[in-house]
Structure 1
């Protein structure tokens, strides 16, 4: 695969970035998918736009702060002095999930069923959004002669050298989340217990990113041969397993209480 596009392009007086454009398209597609899923699963479609806006705003802030926490902690007190560069996607997940949960609670909507809808729509939006990273040459890996290696010809691409094929972490993530999206859309009707879809998507995505980042070379190793995104993936996998277990336990306890004969202790 050969990509000859620059990270930015002009439309009249406007300069647009592929990264931002594809993120916006992914968000819009995700909103559309979430709306359809909300109707299919019997949750409130009116909650989708509120969840999306809450996730977009808090996710942007979280991504910026998480990046600075890793790369330049001293700038956390002035995070937007140079807002054009420096975002870490996992900050979006860390900030947006609790923020959306608070939004749902404040507006009197059930939290887990609506978060399930958001989680099920997430992979397709993510697959589209990561196209911007692929076009830019972000998350490149080592050089390769394999047929799916990606070669960049524009000197503004984020790879070390043009005219050379690299493994692409962005391409691998796109492929993974695309498969995850199809799988979730096929089985979502079986995931009726509140929270099951949320924890499954969070865990599966974190496992996929943990694996993909073994090929990524544009971020440094932090410890034990793992990069920051991989350490964050491990934490999120633990959270997903604990969340799944706790919601199962709570749901099971509720079922037993409902089944208990009236008048029993």
Structure 2
């Protein structure tokens, strides 16, 4: 029998109280969102207090970051939920529209949240007469903090688990994860702790890489940090989808004979990979644009 790790049965709720028959809970997932937003806000404030990294003048005053935070909260929550509804469960929510607002039951999309944040950056910048690309750079520099905490919360919740594996650090997750291994699987149904892989690569490693880029003057070129973030996240997500249990919503296509073929699963594209590829192209465009703008100034 392969060596595996049992899932540390952590209660998804940090604190739970029953008030007049109504159960109120503070969940790790909600705390991850709050902590990510607060730490990201403080990091952006710190960047605005360092005009030298921007080439002489920061794109906005430190006190304006407080208002930006409000826009980011709305962008993350609304964009993440709408993205989940449209990208992952459109048929279910079309039949059950009353469940769309039930965010406490789970269901958020990173790519939808990214679009919501991008819309918030543009709206906030236009309202305050700021440069959207420079504001986007600041937000992108802080984004890996929230991603890292969010993936750790996914692990605590025992959700978004990885594919079956026999590596020594494979984890036996509870519930459906423990019951859905291949029929010929021998031993406990252990899986890659892909949430922790993502926390490390999409969060910690990406944050360090962007920090190094900022130290080398990336914020002096509007759009460069944002572009590097899009490329870095996309590369990490596409690679790590090979360890994460594939989404049920695969991309499908029709062959010349009119037969529907699946491009999902082990040999094709998952939904996460499909949404990340155009994201990488946008990031590449922004980086090349910043290079050309720098050459023109030179």
Fold-level similarity (TM above 0.5): yes
Q: CA deviation at 1:212?
A: 1.1
Please point out which of 60, 80, 86 is paired with 1:69.
Answer: 86
Please point out which of 117, 126, 150 is paired with 1:96.
Answer: 117
| 172-181 or 43-52, larger mean C-alpha shift | 43-52
Please point out which of 16, 29, 39 is paired with 1:19.
Answer: 29
1:123-164 deviations in Å (ceiling 9; x for gaps): 122112221101112221222232332334xx5x66335964
Please point out which of 191, 194, 205 is paired with 1:179.
Answer: 205
Q: CA deviation at 1:201?
A: 0.9
Match of 2:273?
A: 230
Q: What is the alpha-carbon root mean square deviation over aligned residues?
A: 2.5
Extract unaligned runs of 5+ from structure 2.
19-23, 181-187, 253-262
Structure 1 Cα separation of the partners of residues 152 and 198 of structure 2: 10
| 66-75 or 169-178, larger mean C-alpha shift | 66-75
Q: CA deviation at 1:173?
A: 0.6
Equivalent pairs counted in the alignment come to 252
3-state SS of paired residue (1:12): strand
User: 1:69 touches 1:76 (CA, 8 Å); kept in 2?
Assistant: no
Change (3 A) 1:79 1:63: farther
Please point out which of 126, 148, 154 is paired with 1:105.
Answer: 126
User: 1:131 touches 1:174 (CA, 8 Å); kept in 2?
Assistant: yes
Confirm whether residue 83 of structure 1 aligns to residue 103 of structure 2: yes
Confirm whether residue 6 of structure 1 aligns to residue 11 of structure 2: yes
3-state SS of paired residue (1:3): coil
Please point out which of 209, 226, 229 is paired with 2:237.
Answer: 209
Question: So what's the TM-score if we normalise by structure 1?
Answer: 0.84
Structure 2 Cα separation of the partners of residues 107 and 178 of structure 1: 32
Question: So what's the TM-score if we normalise by structure 2?
Answer: 0.76
3-state SS of paired residue (1:20): helix
Match of 1:259?
A: none
Structure 2 Cα separation of the partners of residues 245 and 68 of structure 1: 33
Confirm whether residue 169 of structure 1 aligns to residue 194 of structure 2: yes
Match of 2:72?
A: 55
Q: How does 1:140-151 map to 2 (within 5 A)?
A: 140-151=161-172
1:12-57 deviations in Å (ceiling 9; x for gaps): 3431222112121122111111211222235232232222221210
User: 1:25 touches 1:129 (CA, 8 Å); kept in 2?
Assistant: no
